[in-house]
Structure 1
Amino acid sequence: MAPTAWFVGALIALILEFLSGSFYLLVVAIALAGGGLSALLGGEPAYSLLASSLIGLVGFAILIRYRRRLNPRRVDPTIDDPDLYQQVTILHLDAEGRGRGFYRGAEWDIQLDAAATLSPTPEHGYIVGRDGNRLILSPQPPLPR
C-alpha cells in the first residue's frame, strides 16, 4: 500500500476523532501514521501492517490504562444494599462462625465477621456484608454514621 493511502487514512481518522472526542480514533490515526511512515521509509507492506498493528495495540493499552486511572470503577457494593446493618436472628452457629439465621421471613446462611468473637454465642447479628447469598454478620450493632 502506498504511503499516501496510510496518511489519508490517518487524516480521516483524525478528523473523525475531532468530531467524536473519544481518543480511540486518535490512537487509530497514530497507528495509521506509523504504518505510513514505515511505508515511506521503504518497508514492505507486511512491515507496514505490523508496525501499524503494534502501534495500535500499544496505544489502546495505554489509553485503557489511563482511563482506568482517571475514572476508577471502584463502587462500594454496600451503597445500594438496603439490608446493610439490619438485625438478623441467629438460629445456630458452628465453631467456625457459620450457621443459619432468620431475616425477612426466611432462613439464610450466615457467617460471623472475621473480627467477631464466639463467646457467648449472640442471639442477634447485624448485616455488615455479603458473600453471594451468605450474610456476613457482626454481633455488635453498627455505629451511627
Structure 2
Amino acid sequence: MWFWFGVAALFLLLEMATGTFYLLLVALGLVASGTAAYADLSLVWQIISGLAVSLIGLVVLHRYRQSKGHVPTQSNPNVVQDIGQSVIVDAWDENGQGSVFYRGSNWSARIDVDQPVHPGRHYIQAVQGLTLILRPGQYSASDTQH
C-alpha cells in the first residue's frame, strides 16, 4: 500500500516540475491502486483500478481540451511570439525544407503541410523546436485553428 502512495507522491513532484496534467493522471491512478491495496484487494485489482482511473482521467482531459478549442502551444500566437512574423525564403530543397534569416540568425524552416513550395515571403505558422513551420502569403489568425 505505501509503495503505491510513495510512487504517487513522486509523480506529483514530477508533475510540479513539468506542468503537464498527464503525470497528475498517473499519480491519481497510483492513489487508486494504493486505495485498492488498503482495501486488501489483490495485486491484479490494484493494477486494474490504477489503470482505470488514469485512463478515465485521460479521456476526460482530452474531451475538455477539445471542447475548449485547444490550440497546440507551438502554433499559439498568445504563447509563441514568432507566430505571424514574416520571413523571406530564398529557396526550398526537394523535401520542402530550407534556411531563413530571422531575428539575427539562420533558422531551419519547413513548409507547412499541403502548402505550395515556392520562394518568397512566408509567415511563421508554428515553431517546432528550432524549426520554423512556414506558410506562403500573409498571416491570418484563423490559420492557427486547425
- TM-score, normalisation: structure 1: 0.60
Q: How does 1:1-145 map to 2 (within 5 A)?
A: 25=31, 27-35=33-41, 51=42, 53-72=43-62, 76-77=72-73, 78-79=75-76, 80-118=79-117, 121-145=118-142
Residue in 1 that maps onto 2:17? none
For 1:39-97, what per-residue CA distance to the aligned partner results, in whole angstroms no more than 9, with x for missing partners?
Answer: xxxxxxxxxxxx2x111111110111111122237762122111111101213222332
For 1:111-138, what per-residue CA distance to the aligned partner results, in whole angstroms no more than 9, with x for missing partners?
Answer: 11222213xx332111112333111110
- TM-fit CA distance, 1:98: 1.4
When the two chains are superposed, the root-mean-square deviation of aligned CA atoms in Å is: 2.8
Greater Cα offset, 88-97 or 77-86? 88-97
- Structure 1: how far apart are the matches of 2:38 and 2:48? 13
- TM-score, normalisation: structure 2: 0.60
Higher-Rg member (1/2)? 1
- Contact 1:98-1:110 within 8 A present in 2 as well: yes
Greater Cα offset, 101-110 or 89-98? 89-98
CA shift in 2, pair 1:75/1:34, >3 Å: farther
- Structure 2: how far apart are the matches of 1:109 and 1:24? 42
- Structure 2: how far apart are the matches of 1:111 and 1:128? 10
CA shift in 2, pair 1:136/1:24, >3 Å: closer
One-letter amino acid of the counterpart of residue 109, structure 2: I
Unaligned runs of 5+ in 2: 2-27
- TM-fit CA distance, 1:31: 3.4
CA shift in 2, pair 1:131/1:26, >3 Å: closer
One-letter amino acid of the counterpart of residue 35, structure 2: A
User: In percent, how many aligned pairs have the same letter?
Assistant: 22
In structure 1, the residue corresponding to 2:37 is in which secondary structure?
helix
One-letter amino acid of the counterpart of residue 76, structure 1: P
